[in-house]
């Protein structure tokens, strides 16, 4: 199978230093919501997403909504099938800057908890809630990192508030995914976009740009990926790698349960369109317990390096690294989990990082003796 064309732009890896990531998490933990600025944004977003899952999202809704356990994504969003003439959507979103990948996933989450399969989906939300709106605005569903620039804006103007900056992030992301035929945004007579009236299009980014309908089948993303805020805490590269591993599990479920699944470099590049740098993000998924990385004979567990010099050749058969997805880990709050693992790791966190999940699961008395 030939590799999908990746274009001239470099694929963003989403990699950042640990110190930068901790600073970003700190801003997200401290961000405030609402006019009175008394509620943590992370708590408010989590509550709204959970309400959307429970009821469909209308402010006054109390009855049980659709409550699907998973968000289904059409396969063309994640990977290319033999004979496909264009690359999947995820690597194209990785080459963008901003919220495009996460916002697209949020749009699919919102649609599937309000509509059944094969039903035309309509957007009921403004970017920013108006007084008579009955649904939260998109800004109220997004936990994003913003950094206001000092005490003054450009040209001495007052600086934008964090709420205004989040609004701008969302509108810029909508404009970005419109360029990929994922939404259609009507124009005003003067040419300005009417963001309120955007139409969600198929997530496979077809040039025919059909309106989005909820698929009856596809790769399944657990709903906790959204309601526990993982979609906002993980980097784009980590999300792409997680979706790839979800796909491998869907196609190799028995192998996944028995001994984990692996992705060869050829499949990663040719089918999923992901670079090696993006694949390195699997290490953070492992540290956060979303996946287990299983020990591989011949590889150093911590570094992944191969010890036998004879296996470094181009044609040498290298030991593969297998992974198993931990759905239960999605139940934990993403922001709290990432903060704890990166800023105050427990002894078991460190053993997991250095020696693997089997060592972590050893009894405490055995760990003490190590």
Question: What are the structural domain ranges in the chain?
Answer: 18-151+163-222, 226-310+319-369
Count Cβ neighbours within 10 Å for each residue of 10-38 and write b for 16 or more, e otherwise. Answer: ebbbbeeeeeebeebbeebeebebeeeee
41-63: average pLDDT = 95
Report pLDDT for 155: 54
Do residues 10 and 92 lie in contact, with contact meaning Cβ atoms separated by under 8 Å? no
Query: Which residues, in sequence order, are CB contacts of 315 under 8 Å at separation 6+?
Result: none
pLDDT of 325 reads 98
How do residues 220-272 score in pLDDT, each as one tens digit?
A: 999 999 999 999 999 999 999 999 999 999 999 999 999 999 999 999 999 99
For residues 208 and 80, is the Cβ–Cβ distance under 8 A? Answer: no
Tokens standing for 60? 């006054």
Contacts of 310 (CB under 8 A, 6+ apart): 316
Q: Which of 50-64, 202-216, 308-322 has the lowest mean pLDDT?
A: 308-322
Instruction: State the Cα–Cα distance between residues 162 and 145, nearest whole angstrom.
Output: 9
State pLDDT tens for residues 276-287: 999 999 999 999
Q: What is the pLDDT of residues 274-318, one digit of tens each?
A: 999 999 999 999 999 999 998 777 676 666 666 555 555 565 566
Number of helices (H) and strands (E), helices first, in the chain? Answer: 16, 8
Q: What is the pLDDT of residue 4?
A: 37
Whole-number average pLDDT of the chain: 87
Closest to 198 in 3D by CA, of 143, 144, 130, 125: 125
β-partners of residue 299 are: 306
What does the pLDDT read at residue 3?
A: 36
Handedness of CA 296, 299, 302, 303 (dihedral sign): negative
For residue 268, the tally of other CB atoms under 10 A from its CB is: 18
Tell me what the mean pLDDT of segment 52-62 comes to.
93
* Residue 114 reports pLDDT greater than 60: yes
Share of residues in the chain with pLDDT > 70 (%): 85
Of 191, 185, 181, 227, residue with least CA distance to 76:
181
């Amino acid at each position: 199978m030939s590799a999908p064309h990746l274009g001239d732009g470099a694929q963003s890896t989403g990699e950042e230093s640990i110190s930068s990531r901790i600073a970003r998490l700190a801003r997200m933990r401290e961000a405030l919501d609402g006019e009175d600025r008394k509620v943590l944004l992370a708590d408010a977003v989590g509550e709204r997403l959970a309400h959307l899952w429970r009821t469909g999202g209308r402010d006054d809704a109390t009855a049980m909504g659709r409550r699907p356990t998973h968000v289904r994504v059409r396969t063309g969003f994640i990977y290319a099938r033999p004979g496909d003439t264009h690359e999947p959507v995820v690597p194209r979103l990785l080459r963008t800057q901003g919220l495009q990948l996460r916002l697209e996933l949020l749009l699919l989450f919102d649609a599937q908890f309000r509509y059944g399969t094969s039903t035309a989906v309509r957007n009921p939300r403004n970017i920013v809630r108006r007084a008579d709106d009955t649904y939260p605005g998109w800004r109220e569903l997004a936990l994003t990192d913003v950094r206001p620039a000092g005490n003054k804006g450009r040209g001495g103007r007052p600086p934008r508030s964090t709420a205004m900056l989040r609004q701008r992030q969302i509108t810029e992301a909508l404009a970005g995914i419109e360029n990929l035929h994922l939404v259609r945004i009507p124009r005003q007579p003067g040419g300005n976009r009417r963001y309120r009236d955007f139409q969600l299009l198929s997530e496979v980014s077809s040039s025919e740009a059909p309106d989005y309908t909820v698929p009856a089948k596809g790769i399944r993303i657990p709903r906790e990926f959204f309601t526990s805020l993982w979609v906002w805490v993980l980097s784009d590269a980590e999300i792409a790698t997680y979706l790839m591993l979800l796909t491998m599990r869907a196609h190799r479920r028995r192998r996944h349960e028995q001994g984990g699944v692996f992705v060869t470099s050829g499949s990663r590049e040719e089918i999923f369109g992901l670079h090696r740098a993006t694949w390195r993000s699997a290490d953070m998924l492992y540290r956060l317990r979303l996946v287990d990385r299983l020990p591989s004979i011949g590889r150093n567990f911590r570094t992944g390096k191969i010890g036998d010099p004879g296996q470094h050749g181009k044609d040498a058969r290298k030991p593969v690294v297998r992974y198993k997805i931990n759905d239960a880990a999605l139940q934990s709050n993403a922001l709290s989990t990432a903060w704890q693992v990166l800023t105050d790791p427990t002894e078991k966190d460190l053993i997991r990082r250095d020696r693997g999940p089997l060592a972590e699961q050893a009894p405490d008395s055995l760990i003490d003796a190590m």
